[in-house]
């Protein structure tokens, strides 16, 4: 049984159990047996009187009463039969209880209304005829009683309506109420099923949204942290080449590398803190703005990375000078300034290329077409593609020449990063690779409706290409 009280295999709410035969409940069977016994007693008594008045054997009246009275046992299964029997014995003036209960059951059942009206009319007519004849005989037998002509017809009609109308009207009311309750229960049960289905679908959507946010968070963390840590490793390796030639400069640049690492740890800790906060709030609110905060943090981190990485990249260049006047606090100051802005944009690709150049990588940047404003998601995605491609060059192709191309076209922007084979004698940075960079770039690009292609070139290098739709430009 459901929470709404709809009948199930176990019976009906509040019922002790399913009754025998056609009864739905045991108490219904008990009630019908009681009514059948009472009707039988009544019919036997009236049958004896009818036999005496008709000068028939008393046994015939008793048998007639025993046959008519128990018909109430089938009133729930065959209500029409009960009413027909009551109409049939009307001339014998039997079964007053049978008539009343039969008409009530017929009106309360699901029998078509035309049958109810027809049988009720037949019962009224039979009662009217028999009552009228009996009253005329009684009036004729009393010489001192001379009622008006309308007394007998009016009394017969009133008696017929009194015996017929109340049970019919009560049965119609009870039947309508029963059908209304069943309709409401069915509707409530249907709503319950719909709510359960909606809850399941909502849970599926929430799970899908959580998976999407986890993927997006992992992608942002990979783009930011992997890029910065990769450059740190490359620059640290470059410091080994200058530590003996110029210890003072190497010490200063090593301090910049350390400051950069501490900043990276701070930003990573901030990301993880957002994640922990989101997990604590998940019990009370499934939909939270923490993933959005995390993505915003990651975007800020990527923009802040331009300041320290350029300084450390100068150390990786080796021979040419460091970054005079650069203080460790500049990183944190830049983070405060950049925290007010949005994510990275195409305008910062030049700074990103300069970082790789300062690290000793030969990078050529070419821009075709007139630069225009794109949607924030498009510019961030284009920036991430260039960033991840350059990171992969530092990891897998040290010393290789790189060419970065940006093409502003009508309704779209194209990005291509192509590198040649690794330079001979170049030391491998020894950075691990999880294979998530290309996957993350593809997810970003295709998520915006763009096209992403990557693969090796005939010259032994690697090429990454992406074409993104322009999207809606931000309103000034």
Q: What pLDDT digit, counting tens, does each position of 5-18 carry?
A: 334 444 444 444 55
The rounded distance, in Å, linking the Cα atoms of 239 and 311 is 13
The answer for residues whose C-beta is within 8 angstroms of residue 315's C-beta and 6 or more apart is 235, 238, 239, 242, 249, 250, 253, 254, 256, 257, 322
CB–CB of 47/62 below 8 Å? Answer: yes
The answer for residues whose C-beta is within 8 angstroms of residue 252's C-beta and 6 or more apart is 322
% of the chain residues with pLDDT over 90:
14
Instruction: For residues 255-262, give the mean pLDDT.
Output: 73
Residue 326 main-chain phi, psi, to 5 deg: -90, 125
Of 342, 328, 353, residue with least CA distance to 380: 342
- Please state, rounded to an integer, the average pLDDT across all residues of the chain: 74
Let me know the angle formed at the C-alpha of 156 by 154 and 158, rounded to the nearest 5 degrees: 70
Q: Model-level pTM?
A: 0.45
**pLDDT(404) > 90:** yes
pLDDT band at 130 (very low <50, low <70, confident <90, very high): confident
Which parts of 199-351 are beta strand (E)? none
Question: Who has greater pLDDT, 16 or 396?
Answer: 396
Instruction: For residues 79-104, give the mean pLDDT.
Output: 85
CB–CB of 314/337 below 8 Å? Answer: no
The rounded distance, in Å, linking the Cα atoms of 278 and 382 is 29
Each residue's pLDDT tens digit, 159-187: 778 888 888 889 888 988 988 998 999 99
Instruction: For residues 259-273, give the mean pLDDT.
Output: 72
**pLDDT(440) > 50:** yes
**pLDDT(354) > 80:** yes
Task: Tell me if residue 323 falls in helix, strand or coil.
Answer: coil
pLDDT band at 426 (very low <50, low <70, confident <90, very high): low
CB–CB of 192/8 below 8 Å? Answer: no
pLDDT band at 414 (very low <50, low <70, confident <90, very high): very high
Each residue's pLDDT tens digit, 16-52: 455 567 777 788 788 888 888 888 888 888 888 888 8
Let me know the angle formed at the C-alpha of 195 by 190 and 201, rounded to the nearest 5 degrees: 130
Burial track 383-414 (b if 16+ CB lie within 10 A, e otherwise): bbbbbbbbbbbbbebbbbbbbbbbebeeebbb
* Lowest pLDDT segment from 26-40, 67-81, 99-113, 140-154: 140-154
- Residues, the chain: 476
DSSP 475: P
The rounded distance, in Å, linking the Cα atoms of 65 and 73 is 14
pLDDT band at 474 (very low <50, low <70, confident <90, very high): low
Each residue's pLDDT tens digit, 294-325: 445 444 444 444 433 333 333 333 333 333 33
DSSP 404: E
**pLDDT(231) > 90:** no
CB–CB of 316/234 below 8 Å? Answer: yes
**pLDDT(276) > 80:** no
β 363-368/402-409 pair status: parallel
**pLDDT(416) > 90:** yes
């Amino acid at each position: 049984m459901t929470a709404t009280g709809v009948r199930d295999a176990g019976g009906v709410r509040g019922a002790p159990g399913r009754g025998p035969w056609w009864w739905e409940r045991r108490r219904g069977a008990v009630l019908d047996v009681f009514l059948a016994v009472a009707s039988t007693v009544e019919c036997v008594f009236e049958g004896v009187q009818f036999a005496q008045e008709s000068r028939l054997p008393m046994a015939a009246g008793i048998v007639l009463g025993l046959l008519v009275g128990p018909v109430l046992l089938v009133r729930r299964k065959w209500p029409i039969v009960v009413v027909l029997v009551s109409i049939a014995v009307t001339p014998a003036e039997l079964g007053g209880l049978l008539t009343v209960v039969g008409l009530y059951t017929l009106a309360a059942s699901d029998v078509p209304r035309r049958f109810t009206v027809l049988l009720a009319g037949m019962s009224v007519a039979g009662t009217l005829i028999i009552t009228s004849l009996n009253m005329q005989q009684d009036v004729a037998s009393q010489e001192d009683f001379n009622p008006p002509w309308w007394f007998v017809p009016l009394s017969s009609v009133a008696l017929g309506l009194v015996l017929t109308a109340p049970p019919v009207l009560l049965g119609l009311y009870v039947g309508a109420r029963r059908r209304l309750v069943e309709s409401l229960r069915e509707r409530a049960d249907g709503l319950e099923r719909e709510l359960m289905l909606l809850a399941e679908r909502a849970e599926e959507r929430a799970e899908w949204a959580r998976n999407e946010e986890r993927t997006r968070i992992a992608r942002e963390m990979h783009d930011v942290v992997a890029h910065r840590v990769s450059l740190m490793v490359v620059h640290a390796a470059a410091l080994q080449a200058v530590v003996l030639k110029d210890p003072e400069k190497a010490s200063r640049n090593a301090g910049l590398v350390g400051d950069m690492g501490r900043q990276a740890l701070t930003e990573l800790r901030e990301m993880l803190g957002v994640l922990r906060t989101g997990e604590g709030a998940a019990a009370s609110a499934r939909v939270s703005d923490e993933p959005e905060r995390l993505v915003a943090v990651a975007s800020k981190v990527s923009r802040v990375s331009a300041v320290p990485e350029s300084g450390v990249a100068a150390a990786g260049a080796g021979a040419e000078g460091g970054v005079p006047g650069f203080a460790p606090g500049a990183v944190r100051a830049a983070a405060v300034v950049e925290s007010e802005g949005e994510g990275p944009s195409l305008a910062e690709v030049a700074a990103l290329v300069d970082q790789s150049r300062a690290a000793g990588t030969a990078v050529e940047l070419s821009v075709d077409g007139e630069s225009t404003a794109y949607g924030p998601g498009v510019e961030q995605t284009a920036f991430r593609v260039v960033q991840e491609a350059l990171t992969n060059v530092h990891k897998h192709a040290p010393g290789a020449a790189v060419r970065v191309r940006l093409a502003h076209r009508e309704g779209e922007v194209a990005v291509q990063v192509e590198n040649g084979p690794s330079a001979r004698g170049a030391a491998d940075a020894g950075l691990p690779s999880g294979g998530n960079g290309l996957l993350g770039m593809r997810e970003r690009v295709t998520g915006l409706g763009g096209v992403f292609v990557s693969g090796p070139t005939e010259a032994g290098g690697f090429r990454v290409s992406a074409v993104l739709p322009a999207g809606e430009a931000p309103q000034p």
